[in-house]
Amino acid sequence: MDWSMYADIQNLKRKGFKKTQTADKLKIHRQTVAKYWDMPPDDFMKECLKHRARKPDVYKDLIIEWLTENPDMSAAQLYDWCKEHSPLETLDFQKRSFQDYVKSIRDEYNIQKPDKSRQYEASDERPPGAQGQVDMGEISLMTTSGRHRKVYCFAMVLSHSRYKYVLWQLRPFTTETFITAHVKAFEYFGGRPREIVYDQDKVLAVSENNGDIIYTAGFQNYLDEVKFSVYLCHGADPESKGPVENVVKFAKHGFAEHRILSDIDSFNEECLAWLKRTANHDVHGTTRKRPDEAFAVEKEYLIPVSEYSFAATNEESISYPIRKDNIVLYKGNRYRVPVGTYHRDKRVFMVIDDDKDTIDITDAITGEIYATHPLCHEKGQLIGKSERSERDKNKTVKAQEEALMELFEDDELVGPFLEHIHHEKPRYYRDQLGVIKKLFEEWNKEDIIKGLKYCSEKELYSANELKSSIIYLTQESLDKRRTKPRDSTPLPEKYRGDKPGVRSLSDYENAMDERSAVNG
């Protein structure tokens, strides 16, 4: 604020203009007018001497306007917006000093920032090319039509360099669009890491299955094609993927928040520009390195990825809606799907297996199997059990092991079998013990021990492999009993060892000649 602007404010005031009219006429913010409206000239001179001109002052009115409309804006986002509105590639003031500048603006105009915080745990650093992390989020934005609309975010970050890729779309991610995002991310990076960390999400995994993870059909096909390792986080375990949690937060609140959404393509173009100038360029707070500079090294360690066809298979079928209580109505019965499956526009196919007399509930778009139930031939039944955790949380792992040893009567194969499971599936060991314990409620001990011996011989170390072996051996035993020859009544002793007499061919010829003479 210079003396001429102050004089203009006072002149318009004397002419009877109101504060809002004055602000509009002078093209400055109303709060700036309000500050100097009743200020005596002597106080203004002191103010001018007190506040020397600072480099960010050229953006002061814009900053006040942005903060007034969006008090929760961070100094980092304001700095990025200044860069976006500047004709220069770089600003002539540093981000650190700009933070102090924003703080002084907040204090001066009493624009307090709302308190929002979330805690994270430090993650171990990974070598170049070893790991990437993926997560998704959503945010509601104002559109050019004046309405709010949700947009959905996919974020992938390389754990070593913290180099990021972000993609936005207007609908929730399906398995197909989730794979598409991977294809675009790997293209952006120029390759892929060896392992990717994921949160539990139904677009990629149907079930953890106690360590033997069952992926959706589409994502399993993609894994078979691209062949990277997957680390699936336990539920409510954000610490396993702290870096990407921060990237999603950064993308939502550092880029997307407070923007006006016109169309998704231009929004993604703006996001790529933001990644280049800010998210992948500014010094990272943890590594103290620029992600783009660290990525120049890490890029050499990434594995090349070939093009992947993710065309969905179209299948003609009748689809059914999912009710809000996560129930599908089918032929007079109610079939459960997992809690959280419901979405207003989501539809499913009911796929019947006549051989097994079961029904699969699959996503009408992705083919993801939400649930499998016995086919009910009655009416008015509720099919499926409520979700319950199989984890035995009341006992320690050691106590569970001891209980299993007692059930197996300390069979010598049990210890090595459990050790292998613990080594191969340490994160799911408690779940595996729970599944093995449950086998004793469904099968007799002899069958379970037979299955244990079979798994030990074939080097199959998993609770689910043990269960499958028990089923296989039991069925094999039944098949042998069914095909066993029937007992025949023994011949009397006097006939044993005797052989039937063999007639000469001439006997048959003579008999035929005699028959011809009689008939002749």
For the stretch 158-205, pLDDT in tens is 999 999 999 999 988 888 888 889 999 999 999 999 999 987 667 777
Determine the Cα–Cα distance for residues 289 and 274; give it in Å rounded to an integer. Answer: 18
Tens of pLDDT along 109-124? Answer: 888 887 665 554 455 6
Closest CA to 54 of 6, 89, 104: 104
State the pLDDT at residue 277.
Answer: 93
DSSP 8-state secondary structure symbol assigned to residue 256 = I
Least confidently predicted of 177-191, 382-396, 446-460, 470-484: 382-396
State the pLDDT at residue 145.
Answer: 87
Residues 404 and 444: beta-carbon distance below 8 Å: no
Least confidently predicted of 225-234, 237-246, 316-325: 237-246
The three-class DSSP label of residue 335 is: strand
State the pLDDT at residue 109.
Answer: 86
State the pLDDT at residue 313.
Answer: 33
DSSP 8-state secondary structure symbol assigned to residue 191 = S
Instruction: Map tokens 């540093």 to a residue.
Output: 94
DSSP 8-state secondary structure symbol assigned to residue 350 = E
**pLDDT at residue 89 tops 80:** no
- More reliable by pLDDT, 153 or 53: 153
This prediction has a pTM of 0.47
Determine the Cα–Cα distance for residues 320 and 346; give it in Å rounded to an integer. Answer: 9
Instruction: Map tokens 């590639």 to a residue.
Output: 89
Highest-pLDDT range among 19-23, 113-117, 118-122, 213-217: 19-23
State the pLDDT at residue 517.
Answer: 53
Least confidently predicted of 87-91, 143-147, 297-301, 354-358: 87-91
Summarize the confidence of residues 4-17 as an average pLDDT: 89
Summarize the confidence of residues 294-306 as an average pLDDT: 91
Least confidently predicted of 35-49, 239-253, 279-293: 239-253
Determine the Cα–Cα distance for residues 51 and 399; give it in Å rounded to an integer. Answer: 70
Residues 438 and 469: beta-carbon distance below 8 Å: no
pLDDT band per the 50, 70, 90 thresholds, residue 507: low
User: In the beta sheet, which residues pair with residue 372?
Assistant: 360
Determine the Cα–Cα distance for residues 138 and 136; give it in Å rounded to an integer. Answer: 7
For 158, phi then psi, to 5°, come to -85, 125
Summarize the confidence of residues 120-148 as an average pLDDT: 84
* Residue 379 in tokens: 């009416």
Determine the Cα–Cα distance for residues 12 and 28; give it in Å rounded to an integer. Answer: 13
**pLDDT at residue 309 tops 50:** no
State the pLDDT at residue 47.
Answer: 73
**pLDDT at residue 364 tops 60:** yes
**pLDDT at residue 150 tops 90:** yes
Determine the Cα–Cα distance for residues 480 and 162; give it in Å rounded to an integer. Answer: 60
**pLDDT at residue 506 tops 90:** no
Tens of pLDDT along 231-261? Answer: 887 654 555 555 556 889 899 999 999 999 9
Residue count of the chain: 520
Contacts of 197 (CB under 8 A, 6+ apart): 131, 132, 133, 134, 159, 231, 233, 240, 241, 244
State the pLDDT at residue 351.
Answer: 85
**pLDDT at residue 389 tops 90:** no
Summarize the confidence of residues 295-318 as an average pLDDT: 66
CATH architecture type of domain 131-301: 2-Layer Sandwich (3.30)
Tens of pLDDT along 417-460? Answer: 999 998 888 888 888 998 999 999 888 999 999 999 999 998 89
Domain residue ranges of the chain, discontinuous segments joined by +: 3-109, 131-301, 319-383, 397-481
- More reliable by pLDDT, 225 or 166: 166
Closest CA to 371 of 403, 349, 394: 349
Give all strands (DSSP E) within 314-471, no chain letters.
319-321, 327-330, 333-336, 347-353, 358-363, 369-374, 382-383
State the pLDDT at residue 186.
Answer: 94
State the pLDDT at residue 92.
Answer: 80
Instruction: Map tokens 């599936």 to a residue.
Output: 425
Average pLDDT, the chain: 81
Summarize the confidence of residues 116-133 as an average pLDDT: 71
Least confidently predicted of 27-41, 46-60, 113-127, 222-236: 113-127
**pLDDT at residue 486 tops 50:** yes
- More reliable by pLDDT, 390 or 492: 492
Q: Letter for the amino acid at 256?
A: A
The three-class DSSP label of residue 320 is: strand
